[in-house]
Amino acid sequence: MFDPKIFFEAVRGTAREPGILGPTLSPNEVGGCNAIIAACEGWPISWAAYALATAYHETAGTMLPIKEYGSYNYFMQRYDPSGKKPAIARDLGNTTVGDGAKYAGRGYPQMTGRRNYAKASAELGIDLVANPDRAMEPEIAAQIMRFGMAQGWFTGVDLSDFLPMRGKALPPQFTKARRIINGVDKAQAIAAYASQFQDALWAAGWRP
């Protein structure tokens, strides 16, 4: 039986030996972790740990969804069919002028493009095409991360390609799992975070 109190004690740590989120926890950190833990219910422990680690890295430790950094003009030039990179816009499903800014990256791992917002809408039963800012809500962002990491939405590979279905993952396995989000960028650092979250989940009774 998973015990959230033990989990949060582990990630907080002590003043002398702070945990990954310690030595104090903000309401946002607790709320973000709870949203991710709820979304990952039933997952293998290594998968849940990697989701927490990914969110920790992508949000600079805040555990709150973020929007991709950039101005309206930046998004329009980069992602819009009227911009400088129409092939990227086409790949993202951005077909209408304005889509580049409207469907900029949001979430834990950031979801970008009309096509991905439509995919998440269909999976979650929430109209994110009409209301893309809802991807900034922790519970929705966590569900997007769950489906995206399990189904290979971000790079075409998924958690099952790298992490075990039962028992703990080893650091090299966590390192390889970065390929589901962003190649090998910061892969070893995120693997270290995942190992810490995995230990906290295990201490709190998360199984398998």
Structure confidence by residue, pLDDT tens digits, 36-85: 999 999 999 999 999 999 999 999 999 999 999 999 999 999 999 999 99
Residue with tokens 């390889």, as numbered in its chain: 176
Q: What is the pLDDT of residues 77-134, one digit of tens each?
A: 999 999 999 999 999 999 999 999 999 999 999 999 999 999 999 999 999 999 999 9
**What's the pLDDT at 187?**
96
Percent over 90 (pLDDT), the chain: 97
- Helical pair 45-58 and 138-151, crossing angle rounded to 10 deg: 120
Rounded mean pLDDT of 190-204? 98
- In one-letter notation, the amino acid at residue 49 is A
pLDDT of 208 above 80: no
**What's the pLDDT at 183?**
84
- Token pair of 146 as six digits: 């769950």
Q: What gap in Å lies between CA 85 and CA 61, rounded to an integer?
A: 32
Bridge partners (DSSP) of residue 66 are: 107
Q: Do 110 and 182 meet the contact criterion of CB atoms below 8 Å apart?
A: no
Tell me the pLDDT of the chain averaged across its residues. Answer: 96
Q: Which pTM does this prediction carry?
A: 0.95
Q: Do 81 and 99 meet the contact criterion of CB atoms below 8 Å apart?
A: yes
Bridge partners (DSSP) of residue 111 are: 106
Residue with tokens 């990491």, as numbered in its chain: 149
pLDDT of 140 above 90: yes
pLDDT of 27 above 90: yes
Task: Show Cβ contacts of residue 188 under 8 Å, excluding neighbours closer than 6 positions.
Answer: 171, 175
Rounded mean pLDDT of 24-28? 95
H helices within the chain, ranges in order? 4-12, 27-39, 45-58, 72-79, 86-91, 99-102, 114-124, 138-151, 171-177, 187-203
Bridge partners (DSSP) of residue 107 are: 66, 110
Q: What is the pLDDT of residues 146-174, one digit of tens each?
A: 999 999 999 999 999 999 999 999 999 99
Q: Which letter, b or e, does each residue of 115-134 get, where b requires 16 or more Cβ atoms within 10 Å of its Cβ?
A: bbbebbbebbebebbeebeb
Q: Do 108 and 59 meet the contact criterion of CB atoms below 8 Å apart?
A: yes
- In one-letter notation, the amino acid at residue 163 is L
Q: What is the pLDDT of residues 78-87, one digit of tens each?
A: 999 999 999 9
**What's the pLDDT at 182?**
86
